[in-house]
Structure 1
């Protein structure tokens, strides 16, 4: 009909717009926390934000107490639940309404399956096989006694708090499993943070924890199967199907997964996208199957984690792909759900608290007592080590909480009993670190030897286990053992260059006969000197340091210590260098938190009997890039500071990332200087890539006096035992302008107080530094006397001095000047470009206070921050600020 089209068009503009869903959101006055089952993402994001923020804030506080992150997550969940914030009117209704819990539960269970997969990845069966006897003893003792105590305690608990509809056998089984299980992931992190992984105690605990964890999950699967079964025969069927599925995964699927990893190149280059897809599908497929047969889904995910190949670090790489989302989002969600079900307000009477105390006491006694007695009387450890093993095995952590949540969801545990056990798990986890720190301090720890774990301990022979204190032996030119610290692969060329100088070349006897009489004496002296060192051959211990982060993969790398030693590229390159130059090099890896890196380096060198620690310090990349820029294209500042490794560290125009990285490394350097009880050498590479290829070296040493300069002098003589190394040593003394040259004046007490005040202030500020005692007149005179003796020893050697060969390659001069630092820099510029400077750190008993002259130098060449001066001393700061020399070696003599 006419007009139908127009009527239809007009009707479109008169439709009911109110039928459309409101999209204005917050701008339209909608409450963002209002739950909408068709669009729950808004409230879910609010919940996740609150959960993550709460757990992270608690984690920051508890980290100072060296507590694992799981405690922060559980505490955060308890605080957000009815125990604390749930008592605030409207909080639970707006943030955690009952309708939203299923959505949180779904996401949390997905994360729980992924977490159990990661737990399976952490477990390495080879650890158990290597230490089967001792670990089996400890693991069984740590399960049988706690299980028995848990079963006994379940009788009164069942009568007092559990509904009669729950079968006693089910409750008893869950109680026994909760008591007997050990939290392997948390235990592994505690062992790593306390630096116990390379001790005999750590190896046994790690092996026992792996076995304990596997048996615990099997018992949990059995418990769930019994609960879900209608009869005993059904439970048997469930158990048999579960065993068959496990065998199917462990045998054919495991080999198929290895085949896929090999064909996709995942073993060599990390997991490919296809391999990741296959693995994730397998994880959730296995979780689905174990869930539908009546066993919890987490057991299927756990078994898949066990079968992933460990070759080529594949398990670690897989963990790196998944761990961040699991640890940041999924696990806090799961523990918040636990907290929402935990109401400590239910523990409101004396009987309840009496049972709670009994639960905590028996749980600790069972684990601690069983493992301690087995370690002492069966394994043969002494009491200190046995009690440490018992303390570590009593750690509960998140594994028990997972068991408790499974029991709560199966209605086996009542909310009150659940809250009791959650408090017990928190308390025992919290106690682990303080107990171990008290019972097993560093001086009593028995480290793993090069040939393997040393289990031949003498009972209670604590004094024999104390590490010897290394002392300086460089003064007699016999320092032959060095610990070389490697942080990054860029450190390798510089440290190679330095280590190569430490190996003197033995001259041929044929040349001795053909040379003149005087030269022959020198060469025969050198040969005699080297022959005297045959029994004490040069040895280098390459220590690779890695920071232990919060990631699970970092803990796995710590556990896979032996694998890392073989696969780490930095150590492989350095070891190959040693083989090519006939220098014996042993390799070690230390993975600890950043705050403990410097202590770990000092402790490692002390325990291995090293004579000197060698540290590298790299120039920032922005400075290195100047070498690739034509001189005409460089700015004046870039030209004058192209070799200065500290430009990007403390200048206003530096790149922020480089400044941050270099400042962090400077804290490590100062920490080693402060905590080392043996000599330390800091190698500052000035950034010229051609310097490392030089076959010969010339050293320059400005000698001002003090213990560090005396060590520098000994070190130069030690290096000049190599015929390819020559040196210039200048003793600089300051003279007044009006008078002829005189010996340098002694510091006044006021000047020394200023120096020490800076040092103490640095230590108080939180950055580790060496704190020296007051230098009184007697100490000053003793130091001056030692300076004169050291100088005379090398400038006026005896005829039979073993250093004659080295001294023949050193030129000694003395110079009196009113500006010793300027004179030193002039001397360096007069030498060849690849000269290497050696200087003492001179933060104590320095003959001269160079503050005013150093200020003039920095005003002339560019100001460098005080952090450089505090780290390397005045003399080295002057060299670095000008950018002279190919490298600077800063040494500090042993302080204890």
Structure 2
């Protein structure tokens, strides 16, 4: 790369750097102005930033001679190119850190078909377009070589994953199924195009083949060094929440140095940066620090400037002739139609609805990242570009993105149901729960809640092959407002803290617990912090669950067990927040009550102790109990969990059918007699649901099933006392049972309505239950299934 060579040997260092700084500042200011205007129309930030570059570039303010002389100095191009080089390094490394590898691994076939379907048709159209461009735009004596044809094919086939990712974050479709498919397909297309581009450079000269081989050999020890450096830094800084700035600087320096070596050998370093981020250890404070420090700077500074720089290169002076306008129109039409047509074709093959295919087609038409490399300085060693051809191709890239971005926003408004939060409960996963990904948001208020919450997360994963994406929110009550009528030295310590310091040592303990959990279970938890007033904490949780499209929200109980076995209340704010979340949650909610004898190997030690835990799901009827059964189907697949479903029925229900199944407990085969009531008894929905559950889990021996005959609440309490010492976890629905005689009398001494009648009884100090309790509430915002008996 020429800029890398020239960066340190320019005579006029100050003036180009100052002009570049002013250009960056102007792009940020103007893009913020456009973003305010376009946000009301539903347009994303990248479009506003590209428009800011258009306004500031040769098509706008740079037509003024004084501005042009300041921004377009003879020696400034290398500095702009070098700035773009650093931008590419940072955001590709960050995207590698953030990539959803689990989703791509589980959906590799669909992702690759969607990615290569549109790209292959785009490549064919690009092949045709290369002859057209060579004839009308290139110099008469220029030869149509293979490198030129490949560059045009890559230009048409390419999709910019940074633009797709940023657009998804702005429009909030990145966590939807169709959005994740689009982002993954864009990443596959980008990496493939860049790999082909590097191979073209490698095979253009014999010396490049040798250099490319040496670079590949050199990348291996660097990647391994990155891994062991991260592990060493994690162990070295046990008493810190984040790495220190010199340690972050060391990591980024290694990344930048390696990228510059690759660029100086005429290759592109984007793939190397992405792979470095992808293989970087995701657990521990090293990755957490890099995400914390890079996310804000990249999303709010680097990408806006980079998108602005794309628009900055748009030079409308080349559109003075109708011939050039027609050429740009044809190129844009070819690019859009090829991507949309190819994507619709493969979506039809995959039986994806046409409206989703159209959305994918426009998303995958977004350009603006490596396209500049294909026609820019990185390809100068391959092709001698005609200035007119170069500028018209750049305009094609900009127009393509400016068209596709707003269309994507309009399609989102038109097809709003595609992006709504639909997986709000687990009831639909009764048959094959391990084949669908579980998105879970766990909330903690302090380190005390970590062991129970983490054990539930580990159990909800089920089998080792099941896919789970857990998020954790550390909820912190915002301190009172700072006093304004006193001097700084008179402020108390907690009044001087900014939001980053909220949580104190609790944050360090929570991070340590999450790191230990990840090391033990290999389940990566995305940890965030919510700092708000008590009255608004529930809004933060509900908004986060909706944005993340979480199926489950996990909450800790506000009481904790003392050494003498009594339950002691904690902060009242915890209880208030839990109650508000239960009322407004956009998905199913579970409250975990941690109980058990001191020192016992209870359920809260599930992920740390290799002991089989016996879990009981109590079923009285209603939607919440059915949801509890659905949760249990995932827990039953955990190798350390032995699940039994206990159904409570009125004693007069005598029509039962006895069944004998073999259930393996430890190393002994024990015959367990179970009974399933006739469908003539109880609620038809409950019976049909349990019948499906019985056929899928009980008959195969995965789950035990028993029935208890009771007449009233007193007998229910007695039955619960009998099994109190047998299980380390009880799962029960919150309510929705109507006026059931089995539970109605229990409400007479109810203290915590948020747990329901049965959950509150199990959590009380009066009932000597030695197991934890998980109370489940099905999603309440729908009009059906509130009380259906």
Q: TM-score, normalised by structure 1?
A: 0.48
CA distance in 1, matches of 2:420, 2:301: 40
Partner of 2:392: 416
Partner of 2:135: 159
Partner of 1:184: 161
Greater percentage in helix: 1
Q: CA deviation at 1:314?
A: 4.8
Partner of 2:218: 248
1:378-389 map, 5 Å? 379-389=350-360
Post-superposition Cα deviations, 1:614-652, rounded to whole Å, max 9, x if no partner, equal: 99999xxxxxxxxxxxxxxxxxxxxxxx99969xxxxxx
Partner of 2:234: 265
Would you say the 8 A contact 1:192–1:591 is kept in 2? no
| Greater CA drift, 437-446 or 43-52 | 437-446
For the aligned residue pairs, the C-alpha RMSD in angstroms reads 5.8
Q: CA deviation at 1:147?
A: 0.7
Partner of 1:400: 371
Q: CA deviation at 1:424?
A: 1.7
Check if 1:807 corresponds to 2:763: no
Partner of 1:172: 149
Partner of 1:308: 280
Would you say the 8 A contact 2:282–2:524 is kept in 1? no
1:521-536 map, 5 Å? none
Q: CA deviation at 1:177?
A: 0.9
CA distance in 2, matches of 1:369, 1:546: 45
Q: Describe the shift of the 1:599–1:546 C-alpha distance in structure 2 as closer, same or farther (beyond 3 A).
A: same
1:638-657 map, 5 Å? none
Partner of 2:602: none
Q: Describe the shift of the 1:99–1:484 C-alpha distance in structure 2 as closer, same or farther (beyond 3 A).
A: closer
CA distance in 1, matches of 2:200, 2:157: 14
Q: Describe the shift of the 1:426–1:403 C-alpha distance in structure 2 as closer, same or farther (beyond 3 A).
A: farther
Q: CA deviation at 1:268?
A: 8.8
Check if 1:47 corresponds to 2:18: no
Residue-pair matches, total: 536
Q: Describe the shift of the 1:390–1:572 C-alpha distance in structure 2 as closer, same or farther (beyond 3 A).
A: farther
Check if 1:212 corresponds to 2:189: yes
Gaps of 5+ in 2: 1-10, 457-468, 476-509, 531-536, 559-569, 593-597, 599-623, 625-712, 714-737, 756-778, 784-789
- Secondary structure at the aligned position of 1:182 is classed as coil
CA distance in 1, matches of 2:216, 2:450: 52
Would you say the 8 A contact 2:262–2:268 is kept in 1? yes
Q: Describe the shift of the 1:387–1:108 C-alpha distance in structure 2 as closer, same or farther (beyond 3 A).
A: closer
Check if 1:57 corresponds to 2:13: no
Post-superposition Cα deviations, 1:255-276, rounded to whole Å, max 9, x if no partner, equal: 2332333233369966566764
- Secondary structure at the aligned position of 1:137 is classed as helix
1:239-638 map, 5 Å? 239-249=209-219, 251-265=220-234, 276-298=248-270, 300-312=272-284, 314-315=286-287, 317-377=289-349, 379-406=350-377, 412=385, 413-439=389-415, 441-442=418-419, 451=433, 489-490=445-446, 598=542, 601=545
Q: Describe the shift of the 1:669–1:110 C-alpha distance in structure 2 as closer, same or farther (beyond 3 A).
A: farther
- Secondary structure at the aligned position of 1:141 is classed as helix
Would you say the 8 A contact 1:542–1:571 is kept in 2? no
Q: Describe the shift of the 1:51–1:431 C-alpha distance in structure 2 as closer, same or farther (beyond 3 A).
A: same
CA distance in 2, matches of 1:332, 1:166: 37
Would you say the 8 A contact 1:59–1:72 is kept in 2? yes
CA distance in 2, matches of 1:287, 1:604: 34
1:787-802 map, 5 Å? 802=740
Q: CA deviation at 1:131?
A: 2.7
Would you say the 8 A contact 1:599–1:671 is kept in 2? no
CA distance in 2, matches of 1:309, 1:811: 51
CA distance in 2, matches of 1:587, 1:254: 21
- Secondary structure at the aligned position of 1:810 is classed as helix
CA distance in 1, matches of 2:326, 2:345: 27
CA distance in 1, matches of 2:357, 2:336: 15
Q: CA deviation at 1:295?
A: 1.9
CA distance in 1, matches of 2:161, 2:353: 24
Partner of 1:790: none
Would you say the 8 A contact 2:336–2:365 is kept in 1? yes
Q: Describe the shift of the 1:48–1:199 C-alpha distance in structure 2 as closer, same or farther (beyond 3 A).
A: closer
CA distance in 2, matches of 1:101, 1:64: 36
Would you say the 8 A contact 1:52–1:328 is kept in 2? no
1:731-746 map, 5 Å? none
Gaps of 5+ in 1: 1-34, 227-231, 456-482, 501-540, 548-565, 577-585, 619-641, 647-664, 684-692, 694-714, 716-793, 795-799, 813-834, 840-891
Q: Describe the shift of the 1:567–1:485 C-alpha distance in structure 2 as closer, same or farther (beyond 3 A).
A: same
Would you say the 8 A contact 1:544–1:571 is kept in 2? no
Post-superposition Cα deviations, 1:712-762, rounded to whole Å, max 9, x if no partner, equal: xxx9xxxxxxxxxxxxxxxxxxxxxxxxxxxxxxxxxxxxxxxxxxxxxxx
Q: CA deviation at 1:219?
A: 2.2
Check if 1:111 corresponds to 2:87: yes
CA distance in 2, matches of 1:45, 1:544: 39
Would you say the 8 A contact 2:38–2:48 is kept in 1? yes
Would you say the 8 A contact 1:615–1:669 is kept in 2? no
Q: CA deviation at 1:152?
A: 0.6
CA distance in 1, matches of 2:515, 2:226: 30
CA distance in 2, matches of 1:492, 1:387: 49
Post-superposition Cα deviations, 1:89-125, rounded to whole Å, max 9, x if no partner, equal: 5332345544544444433333333333334444465
1:838-853 map, 5 Å? none
Would you say the 8 A contact 1:182–1:209 is kept in 2? yes
- Counterpart pick for 1:78 among 54, 63, 66: 54
Partner of 1:580: none
Q: Describe the shift of the 1:568–1:414 C-alpha distance in structure 2 as closer, same or farther (beyond 3 A).
A: same
CA distance in 1, matches of 2:366, 2:261: 31
Greater percentage in strand: 2
CA distance in 1, matches of 2:128, 2:101: 32
Q: Describe the shift of the 1:156–1:203 C-alpha distance in structure 2 as closer, same or farther (beyond 3 A).
A: same
Would you say the 8 A contact 1:111–1:330 is kept in 2? yes
Would you say the 8 A contact 1:446–1:454 is kept in 2? no
Partner of 2:725: none
Would you say the 8 A contact 1:394–1:432 is kept in 2? no
CA distance in 1, matches of 2:158, 2:405: 12
Q: Describe the shift of the 1:267–1:186 C-alpha distance in structure 2 as closer, same or farther (beyond 3 A).
A: farther
Q: CA deviation at 1:149?
A: 0.5
CA distance in 2, matches of 1:369, 1:307: 34
Would you say the 8 A contact 2:43–2:406 is kept in 1? yes
1:854-865 map, 5 Å? none
CA distance in 2, matches of 1:600, 1:178: 37
CA distance in 1, matches of 2:236, 2:183: 25
- Secondary structure at the aligned position of 2:352 is classed as coil
Partner of 1:738: none
Partner of 2:63: 87
Q: CA deviation at 1:371?
A: 2.4
Partner of 1:847: none
Q: Describe the shift of the 1:643–1:569 C-alpha distance in structure 2 as closer, same or farther (beyond 3 A).
A: closer
CA distance in 1, matches of 2:224, 2:591: 50
Post-superposition Cα deviations, 1:832-888, rounded to whole Å, max 9, x if no partner, equal: xxx76999xxxxxxxxxxxxxxxxxxxxxxxxxxxxxxxxxxxxxxxxxxxxxxxxx
Q: Describe the shift of the 1:382–1:339 C-alpha distance in structure 2 as closer, same or farther (beyond 3 A).
A: closer
Q: TM-score, normalised by structure 2?
A: 0.54
Partner of 2:687: none
